[in-house]
Amino acid sequence: MACAVEVHGLDVTYRSASGPVPALAGVDLQVQPGEFVSILGPSGCGKSTLLLAVAGLVTPTRGEIRIDGRPVRAPVREIGIVFQEHLLLDWRNVLDNVLLQIELRGLPRATYTASARTLLTRMGLQGFEAKHPFELSGGMRQRVAIARAIIHNPPLLLMDEPFGALDALTREQMRVDLERLWMDLRSTVLFVTHDIAEAILLSDRVVVMTARPGQLADIVPIALPRPRTGDVQTGPEFLHYRTRILDIFYKFGVLHT
Ligand code: ADP
Ligand code: MG
C-alpha cells in the first residue's frame, strides 16, 4: 500500500512575536507511490515544516499539497509518523505502546494484537513486549516507535530525523534495518535528515534544500542497487553522489570554503 504525494508552490510563513518567519518558499515536489524520498538540508531550513504540512498539521501560507490527488485540508489519517524523540508512553509496555495507535484510531485492539507481536519480532524486539520504554536502549525505543507508526499499514510514512539521537553504530544498524523493512512494506516514505550518507543509502531520490527560507535546491536520483549494505559506502557511485550533493550545498552557500 502506497500513495502519491504532490507539493505545489508551497510557502509556509510562521507568525511570531518578532514578526513573520518564512520557513518554506516555492517548494514543488512529486513523490510516486512506493518511493523513498529523503529531504536533506541544514538545521532550520524547513524540513520538519514540510513534513508537518504534508501531514496536514501545518497550514500552507500559499500553495497546495495533494495525497493521491486529494487536497490536504485537515490532519491526514492515512499516515504513520516517527519523530527524533520516540514519544513513547513510559507507563505502557512495548506492546501497549504499539497498540496505542490502534486505540487512538478506534480500531479493534484484538484484531491487531497478533500483528503487533509479529511486527515487534520482525524488528528484533521479541521477548521485550512486556518491558517498558525506560528499560530499553535508545535504538530499541526507536524500533518501538517505528512499529507503532506502521502497525495500521499506512500508505505513507513520515520520518523526521528518526535516528538523530542515536549513536553512530546504532544509527547504521537502524538504517540497514529500515531499508529491509521498507523493501517489504513498499509504502511511500518521506524521510528527513541532515546526514548525507544516510540520505544516499536510503533513498530513491534525495531532495536537497537550501537554508531558510527553505527552497528546493535540487533533486538527486540515487540508482544504487538495494539492499545498500556491505561496501556500497566505499564504492565510486556512492562517492559520486556524495560529491554531487556537497557541490549543491557549496553552490547554494549552505557550505563554504
Ligand atoms: P528544520 O526541521 O529544517 O530544522 P523547521 O521546519 O523546524 O526546520 O523550521 C524552519 C524555520 O521555521 C526555523 O527558522 C524555525 O525557527 C521556524 N519555525 C518553526 N516552527 C515555528 C513556529 N511554530 N513558529 C515560528 N517559527 C517557527
Ligand atoms: Mg526539524
Which ligand sits nearest to residue 24's alpha carbon? Answer: 1
Which ligand sits nearest to residue 160's alpha carbon? Answer: 2
Predicted confidence (pLDDT) per residue in 190-241, tens digit? 999 999 999 999 999 999 999 888 899 999 999 999 999 888 999 999 999 9
Verify whether ligand 1 is closer than 6 Å to residue 46 (CB atom).
yes
- Measured from the Cα of 50, ligand 1's closest atom is 6
Predicted confidence (pLDDT) per residue in 118-160, tens digit? 999 999 999 999 999 999 999 999 999 999 999 999 999 999 9
Verify whether ligand 1 is closer than 6 Å to residue 212 (CB atom).
yes
Instruction: Give alpha helix (H) positions in the chain.
Output: 47-54, 94-104, 109-122, 138-150, 168-185, 196-202, 236-251
User: Would the CA dihedral through 148, 151, 156, 157 be positive or negative?
Assistant: positive
In sequence order, what are the beta bridge partners of 80? 157
Residues near 87 by beta carbon (within 8 Å), at least 6 away in sequence: 145
| pLDDT of 19 strictly over 90 | yes
C-alpha cell at 157: 510514512
Verify whether ligand 1 is closer than 6 Å to residue 5 (CB atom).
no
CB atoms inside a 10 Å sphere around CB 181: 18
**DSSP single-letter state for residue 106:** T
Residue 179 CA to ligand 2 center (angstroms) comes to: 22
pTM above 0.85, yes or no: yes
| pLDDT of 86 strictly over 80 | no
- Identify the band that residue 22 occupies on the pLDDT scale cut at 50, 70 and 90: very high
Smallest CA-to-CA distance from 28 within 12, 54, 50, 10 is with 10
- Measured from the Cα of 51, ligand 1's closest atom is 6
How far apart are the C-alpha atoms of 106 and 103, rounded to whole Å? 5
Which ligand sits nearest to residue 164's alpha carbon? Answer: 2
Verify whether ligand 1 is closer than 6 Å to residue 57 (CB atom).
no
Residue 12 CA to ligand 1 center (angstroms) comes to: 10
